[in-house]
Amino acid sequence: MYKDHESRQSAQFFSNATDRSVLQESDLFNSEQSYTFPLLVMFRLLGFISTDAMSTLIDVCGLTTVKNHGGDFARQKLWGPASMIVIPFICGMLVDVVSGYLGYVDDSIAFIIGGVLTLATIPLILKLDMVTVKNTNSLMTTAKKVVGMIDLDVFIFVQIIVGMCYGFHADFLPVFIHDDLIGSKTMIGFVLSINGIGTMVILFLGKIVIQKLGEAHTVIVGLLLYSLRFLVFYFIQNPWILLATEFFEGFCGYMSFVAGSYYCVSVSPPGMLASLNGIVYAAVFGLGRGLGTTIGSSLMSNYSIRTAYLCFSTIAAGTAVIYFIFYHIFLKKIRMERFVKTSREASEVLGVENPAFAVKEDMESGVRNNNIIKPESGITKEP
């Protein structure tokens, strides 16, 4: 009897101790979750803000350098994706190694590497000696001029769609590989490295591509490639096929961004290059990427990630077709007329190396004969 009573007390003690341990772990988990998500949101917001601001300013510096010293703006940008060849692959392997050693998934090593590289670039940025033409117009005047450029307004809207596709794919590609295709972190890093190689190749040829196709047609082809790639994602079963699809990310995304900068150069009034470039980048990386992530996460929650890719494939293809029709019926004529009207003012800002490639392809033969455009090079000069 005594032993039974003692055993019951012992069992009750261990049961209470176990319950307390579980409750403590549950409280710890809940308290961790209570601050982890807001901290992650704040961290990502700061990261996106700093990245978007830096990208806009660096591109303006690059465009100014091309104007003053000559060169190829697309080849300047390829050094950014060059890091994508090495860093994601290294980070993916290190995350797998560290996680295997610890016994649970730990991504902190990737953030540590990113922080160290960011701090290392600060002295280099402080060494930049760059002077750009300032916008003497007020914010309201600038807004009125932008609204009055109908072709630019439509181009910005199309860039928002490009940003949606880019944002959705960039944020959820690792999720697709890891959860749907059951790939490792090393596989994710390898795919992103292939992405960087393809981007470097297309940016190396970027000036030639935009010169042949024009800015508008470059964006249209990029959207069609997005549509085709996302359609493949809907059916894909073998993760190694991603090595082929991700090779073309450079033409879909980065070439569209470069075409956007070239478009701003060719249409910007004096002193408004930085403003227009900032607006286009805000449309792509701000509104576009935000909408892509939001819509994509909603589609994934209600349906599946493959269905989300199918929806974005449809959006990209529809936008490309509609923009192609409107551009050739209305927008090309509007742009040509404004270019002829303001060619002298544009040449004063952009210098001899104005990459108005799309205008070269769109100008009528009579305008070509007036030598506003050099047919052999696509470089403007004063009439």
Buried b (16+ CB within 10 A) or exposed e, 103-113: eeeeeebbeee
DSSP 183-246: --HHHHHHHHHHHHHHHHHHHHTHHHHHHHH-HHHHHHHHHHHHHHHHHHHHH---GGGHHHHG
Give the integer Cα–Cα distance in Å for 4 and 10: 10
Give the integer Cα–Cα distance in Å for 268 and 270: 7
CA angle 263, 265, 266 (to 5 degrees): 65
Q: What is the pLDDT of residue 328?
A: 93
pLDDT digits (tens, 9 = 90+) for 350-366: 443 444 444 444 443 33
Domain ranges of the chain: 146-183+191-369
pLDDT digits (tens, 9 = 90+) for 30-43: 445 667 778 877 87
Q: What is the pLDDT of residue 276?
A: 82
Type of residue numbered 246 = E
Q: What is the pLDDT of residue 33?
A: 60
Fold of 146-183+191-369: Growth Hormone; Chain: A; (1.20.1250)
Give the integer Cα–Cα distance in Å for 162 and 284: 7
| pTM across the whole model | 0.68
Q: What is the pLDDT of residue 60?
A: 72
Q: Which residues of the chain have pLDDT under 70?
A: 1-34, 67, 70-71, 81, 84, 130-139, 182-183, 185, 341-383
